[in-house]
C-alpha cells in the first residue's frame, strides 16, 4: 500500500515546510499564545487570524497505538501508528520506528525523527534515548 501523501493547504503549509527542513513546528496564536493542532485559520481562544510557527522538541509520550497493515491483501511493511502527547506541545499522530509490537508501546517515551517513504518526507517517532 503506497503512502498517501499529505496535501498542504493555506492553514498547514508551515508544518510541512518545517518537516522538509527537519523541524517540528506547531501553530501558536501571535496574540494569545494558544497552540492549535491540527491547525485552523482562526484562533478558537481569541479569534485572532495571526499565527506564528513554534518549534517543539519532539519529545513526548505514546498515548495509544495500532499496527497498520491491510488485513487480507499483500502489503508493504506494517507500520505502527502512534498518538503522541508532546512534552511541550499538542498531540501528534505519526509512525513509530525502532520498536515493534512486542514492546510496551503505551506510555513509551519517544522523540521525533524524520523519514522519507516513497519520496514523501514525513515526521515520525522513535524510542527516546534511554527508553526501553
Partner 1 sequence: MSLPPRQTAIVGIGATEFSKNSGRSELQLAAEAVKAALDDAGLRPADVDGLVSFVQDTNDELRLIRSVGIEQVTWASRTPFGGGGAMSTVQHAAAAIVSGAAEVVVIWRAFNERSGHRFGQPAQGPTQAGMSWHTPFGLDTPAKMYSLWFQGYMHRYGLTNEDFGRYAVVARRHAATNPKAWFYEQPITLDDHQSSRWIVEPIVRLLDCCQESDGGVALVVTSAERARHLAQPPVLVEAAAQSSVLAGDVLFNYYHDDLATFPEASHVADQLWRASGLSPADVDVAMIYENFSPIVFYLLEAYGFCGPGEAKDFIADGQIDLTGSLPVNTHGGLLGEAYIHGVNSIQEAVRQIRRTAVNQVAGAEVALATAGRSAVLLTRA
Applying CB under 8 A, which residues contact partner 1? Answer: 1-9, 12, 16, 37-38, 44, 63-72, 79, 81, 83, 90-95, 101, 106, 120, 122
Cα angle at 83 between 60 and 118, to 5 degrees? 100
Rounded to 10 degrees, the C-alpha dihedral 68/115/110/61 comes to: -50
Q: Are 110 and 124 in contact (CB under 8 A)?
A: no
Rounded to 10 degrees, the C-alpha dihedral 43/64/54/88 comes to: 110
Q: Closest CB to partner 1 among 59 and 97?
A: 97
Least distance from C-beta 10 to partner 1, angstroms? Answer: 11
Least distance from C-beta 101 to partner 1, angstroms? Answer: 7
Least distance from C-beta 4 to partner 1, angstroms? Answer: 4
Cα angle at 13 between 16 and 109, to 5 degrees? 40
Least distance from C-beta 9 to partner 1, angstroms? Answer: 7
Q: Closest CB to partner 1 among 1 and 49?
A: 1
Q: Closest CB to partner 1 among 12 and 111?
A: 12
End-to-end CA distance of the chain: 30
Q: Closest CB to partner 1 among 8 and 33?
A: 8
Amino acid at each position: 500500500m503506497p503512502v498517501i501523501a499529505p496535501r498542504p493547504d493555506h492553514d498547514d503549509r508551515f508544518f510541512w515546510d518545517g518537516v522538509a527542513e527537519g523541524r517540528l513546528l506547531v501553530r501558536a496564536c501571535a496574540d494569545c499564545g494558544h497552540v492549535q493542532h491540527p491547525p485552523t485559520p482562526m484562533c478558537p481562544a481569541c479569534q485572532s487570524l495571526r499565527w506564528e510557527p513554534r518549534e517543539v522538541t519532539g519529545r513526548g509520550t505514546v498515548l495509544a497505538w495500532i499496527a497498520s497493515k491491510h488485513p487480507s491483501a499483500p502489503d508493504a511493511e506494517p507500520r505502527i501508528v502512534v498518538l503522541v502527547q508532546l512534552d511541550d506541545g499538542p498531540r501528534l499522530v505519526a509512525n513509530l520506528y525502532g520498536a515493534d509490537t512486542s514492546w510496551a508501546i503505551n506510555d513509551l517515551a519517544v522523540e521525533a525523527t524524520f523519514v522519507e517513504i516513497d519520496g514523501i518526507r514525513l515526521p515520525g517517532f522513535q524510542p527516546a534515548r534511554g527508553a526501553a
